[in-house]
Amino acid sequence: MSVSLPKKMINGQASFQGPDRQNLQFQDFPLHDDTAAPVDMFKALALQSHHGRPLSDFLKIRTVDEATLLNTVAEESALPVICLHSNPPSPLLRGIVDPVVGIKHRFVCWKFAGKTLIIALSDPAQIDAVQNLLGDTAPNYRFVLAQNTAILGHYATHHRHDLSRAANRRVPAGMSARSWSGLRPRFIGAALLSSFAALATIAPQTLLLVLALWIFGALIANGLLKGVMMMTRMPLQPSPTVPIRNRLPKISILLPLLREEDIVDRLIERMSALVYPKDRLEICLVFEENDTATKNHLAACRLPYWMRKIEVPIDTLQTKPRAMNYALDFCNGDVIGIYDAEDAPEPDQLHKVARLLDQADETVACVQCQLDYYNCTTNWISRCFTLEYAILFRVMLPGLQRWNLPVPLGGTSVFFKRDILEKLGRWDAHNVTEDADLGIRLYRSGYRCLWSDATTYEEANFRILPWVRQRSRWLKGFLQTWITHMRHPIELLRQTGLAGFLVFQIQMIGTFTSFVAVPLVLPMWLYTFGVPLPVYDAVPKGLFLSLVAAFIATELLLLCLGALAVRRRNSPSLYLRLPTMLLYWPLGAFAAYKALWELFVHPNYWDKTSHGINDIEYQEEINRLTAQPGSAILQDSPAPISPASAFSRVSNAKDR
């Protein structure tokens, strides 16, 4: 099967004409695959004729290899094909084009032939865009074709340091935590510690009173926010019977890996279970140059054609957001998603995300999917962690969406409209909770995040020390985010409004306060049983009793939140674990003080969480949780037709 493209020749070059040129996409060129059964091919041809979509939307087959496809494109466009490996671009031309621009449009300045600059590109549909970008760089231009992988390989090899430096500084300085580095935070930390010690020595009663007032305010604010969220109904989800209006978007998924060689094989299997047209899907396994274990393991893996590897150059800064910033240049999706190494998403998740984005207005920037744990029953910590996530993703986030308040995004299973993500400068490479930071930046710019009940299952951190390290990174990132956005509080208030401003304070500094204040408030349980607490004698009696009441009320409210989350999760067995959450929250105090220390001493240190510790043991549970694809797949997929009907439609299409 071939595609006839309208074209005319100008100076020996093909020039595409009319509306077909705008709609022509590289993946729409003809497919040739001998593995497709005749009956399947008949069906696919009929459906293509009826829906006007590529064959690969309807055939579960692999597209042709890149070399064959490029030769077909060359035949249709009358452009010659060159090999960048045997005939590389001239080194003198490397500085002409910003590598980010060259990667985006998939072209490279190849050679000068007299006064003519020869451009190698992978898609003839980009000729006009490339000419407009280059302007009067050269008197004349000629175009040749080269493999897409070779073009990307050229930039990854010869422009890696430029792209790496750009990945570090994508976010504007005023919105980035990169100024909080070097000796500056250490000097500030030393000054604050000295001031605290001096105040504790000179006026300990005043210090205790200030701390009591601060903690009382934080408890009341946290309680009010959780109470409002608990009384908020779940957002209505789009009807599963509503078909998607536009063509399914191209989705690029970033999978940052660091010392994940033990789980890579299982990760590839889980990504392969995603039910989404593979010509509309691009999964990028992103690994660090100095991570030799993961690098060597991936080298031995045979990846499907819709998965590929992206190596991030070594740098003094090594964080997940930096790796994603670098990898994004090499992606070509309209929607950018993120998964973690241990994730097991529901098979139809991408269809649900596509439908939400299809029905959303221009203010919607992303979709946050629900997170849950597959190893809930490992031990007490994993059960409490599951309860905590149930509260966050089944009560808090839906409520925040309902009231259009700032949403602290999760670091995984979140899907962005690429144009908005690029507009905001991607992720802050210096913030260790880049997800929460990006959530507030989106909100400040007037964008919204939608919540989806499409679920991704993860591995709960069930060991105490790794749990503390992970939580300390989150809390340190909350402090980084608060410091960054509170540089200009009046501007923040103007952009977020009073409600958004207050919720931001509760989410960031309020959450940290609730953990760091544990040593001061936990003894209040003793007071309720009649045990005297002389240490609080400096606090006025009325304030102290109010503080005790606020503490107890907050603890009871958390139990109510947990009960609501358990009901929405439909896990009755977890009701018995709810009272033990009163012992779970104090563990965060260790993480809070570790985070406070690192904020001033090692602000950019990324405390890595190990993945795949006991996921093999829970493989059967993972299979059960992700076994049944939802109705979204059926709604977005064309209805089955008989071979006879398919043949009839193809014949009629040919007659027309």
392 occurs within a structural domain: yes
The predicted pLDDT at position 32 comes to 39
Amino acid at 605: Y
Q: Among 526-535, 560-569, 635-644, which range has the highest average pLDDT?
A: 560-569
225 lies in the same domain as 104: no
Q: What is the mean pLDDT of residues 339-366?
A: 94
More confident residue, 3 or 109: 109
In a domain? residue 365: yes
Of 123, 158, 193, which residue is a domain's last? 158
Residue 116 sits in the same domain as residue 233 = no
Q: Is residue 176 part of a domain?
A: no
**Residue 646 pLDDT level (bands cut at 50, 70, 90):** very low
Tokens of 387: 């309860």
Q: What mean pLDDT is predicted for residues 311-324?
A: 94
SS3 61: coil
User: Is the same domain home to 49 and 114?
Assistant: yes
Look at the chain and report how many structural domains it folds into.
2
Instruction: Answer whether residue 645 shows pLDDT above 50.
Output: no
Tell me, what DSSP letter sits at residue 313? P
Domain-located, residue 168: no
The DSSP bridge pattern shows strands 116-121 and 13-16 to be unpaired
Do residue 277 and residue 399 come from a single domain? Answer: yes
Q: Of 116, 136, 158, which marks where a domain is finished?
A: 158
Q: What CATH number has the domain bearing residue 226?
A: 3.90.550.10
pLDDT at residue 621 above 60? yes
In the 3-class helix/strand/coil scheme, how is 94-153 assigned residue by residue?
Answer: CCCCCHHHHHHHCEEEEEEECCEEEEEECCHHHHHHHHHHHCCCCCEEEEEECCHHHHHH
**85 contacts: CB under 8 Å, gap ≥ 6:** 150
| Residues 438-482: tens digit of each pLDDT | 999 999 999 999 999 999 999 999 999 999 999 999 999 999 999
Burial 312-337 (b: 16+ CB within 10 A, else e): bbebeebbbbbbbbbbbbbbbbebbb
522 and 598 housed in the same domain: yes
Residues 446 and 574 in one domain: yes
For residue 579, report the phi and psi dihedrals to the nearest 5 degrees. -60, -30
Same structural domain for residues 153 and 218? no
Tell me the pLDDT tens digit for each residue of 577-597.
Answer: 999 998 999 999 999 999 999
- In tens, the pLDDT along 213-246 reads 999 999 999 999 999 998 887 665 554 556 677 7
Q: What is the DSSP letter of 154?
A: H
Main-chain phi, psi angles of 382, to 5 degrees: -65, -35
pLDDT value at residue 637: 44
Output the pLDDT for position 72.
Answer: 84
Tell me the average pLDDT of the chain. 85
Question: How would residue 42 be classed by pLDDT, with cut points 50, 70 and 90?
Answer: low
| Residue 96 domain flag | yes
Q: Which domain holds residue 561?
A: 213-631
Residues 6+ apart with CB under 8 A from 640: 43
In a domain, 169, yes or no: no
- Is the same domain home to 289 and 391? yes
117 lies in the same domain as 220: no
pLDDT the model gives residue 530: 81
Co-location of 227 and 342 in the same domain: yes
On whether residue 144 sits in a domain, the answer given is yes
C-alpha 244, offset from chain centre: 23
Is 260 in the same domain as 151? no
Please tell me the predicted confidence (pLDDT) of residue 523: 85
409 and 277 share one domain? yes
**358 assigned to some structural domain:** yes
